[in-house]
Amino acid sequence: MVNWSMKKNYNCQDLMELVRILRHPGGCPWDQEQTHRSIRRNFLEEAYEAAEAIDNGDVDGLKEELGDVLLQVFFHTSIEEDAGRFTLDDVADGVCKKLVYRHPHVFGEVNVRSTDEVLSNWEELKKKEKHQDTQADAVDAVARTLPALWRAEKMKKKAAKAGFDWRDVSGALDKLSEELDELRAAALNGEGDPVEELGDVLFAAVCVGRFLDADPEEALHAACEKFSARFRRTEELAGQRGLKLEGLSEEKLTDLWSEAKEQLK
């Protein structure tokens, strides 16, 4: 048996110690086998589950999911402690220093009049901190592991700071139409790579979303929810008439879809 005292309530220090126990001899074989790479997806999944709890207004769920996120932080840190590269205190030290440095209006002599100024200062301080000498450096530094729509939005925002942007949404819409035409030519006439052109269409759509203050991920998630509801209703309508969607003509499917869409307005 390992040396572990049962308690009514535990704290962060207990969690870190628990992770150490699980990862070392006498602990759990699975935990001992894990690496940063092997549990990378777990980290992402836990973060998304926490985000879902936020979206659902689920406070108890959020508490649980934040615990799972914290476990991932402690697990990765424990791996590095064993390697002698950094500790949990080093992690805390780094983020504390970053917060103090990027809030000179709180911890220094800088005066700000709005949250816009706060964000502007934050970006400039971040560029200095990361040694991003040009705006292109800042664009290139956007994490490649972000969901592609978020990455596109963030890259375009940074490029816009250098004046690389349309004056209004009409220019962005014109660009979207242009990319759609190129996608059509590639897909139907073999004029270019249709996959590349599809990417250009999605990027252009994200640029339109910026002028609408629309989060592209949220917009697409909403479209997915809408499609799911309409598809379910389409299948129900078909079933009510003794039909199955499989094998129906395109015309009949379109009629059923239009009916479902009208009912779900």
Q: For residue 80, give Cα distances in angstroms to 61, 69, 73, 85, 185.
A: 29, 17, 11, 6, 52
Tell me the per-residue pLDDT of 2-14, one tens digit each, with 9 for 90 and over. Answer: 888 899 999 999 9
Q: Take residue 221 and report the two structure tokens written for it.
A: 């998630």
pLDDT attached to residue 3: 83
* Cα gap 78→87, rounded to integer Å: 7
pLDDT attached to residue 86: 98
pLDDT attached to residue 256: 97
Tell me the per-residue pLDDT of 189-237, one tens digit each, with 9 for 90 and over. Answer: 999 999 999 999 999 999 999 999 999 999 999 999 999 999 999 999 9
* Residues 6+ positions from 200 with CB-CB distance below 8 Å: 179, 182, 183
What is the total residue count of the chain?
265
pLDDT attached to residue 75: 98
First to last CA, the chain: 61
pTM to 2 decimal places: 0.77
* Cα gap 129→137, rounded to integer Å: 12
Say yes or no to pLDDT of 154 above 80: yes
Cβ atoms of residues 13 and 37 within 8 Å: no
pLDDT attached to residue 72: 98
**Among 62, 48, 55, CA closest to 150:** 48
CATH number of the domain located at residue range(s) 12-86 in this protein: 1.10.287.1080
Q: Element (H or E) spanning 71, and its range?
A: helix 59-83
Exposure string (b/e) for 11-45, b if CB count within 10 Å is 16 or more? eeeebbbbbebbbeeeeeeeeeebeeeebeeebee
Is residue 147 helix, strand or coil? coil
* Domain spans of the chain, in order of start: 12-86, 219-263
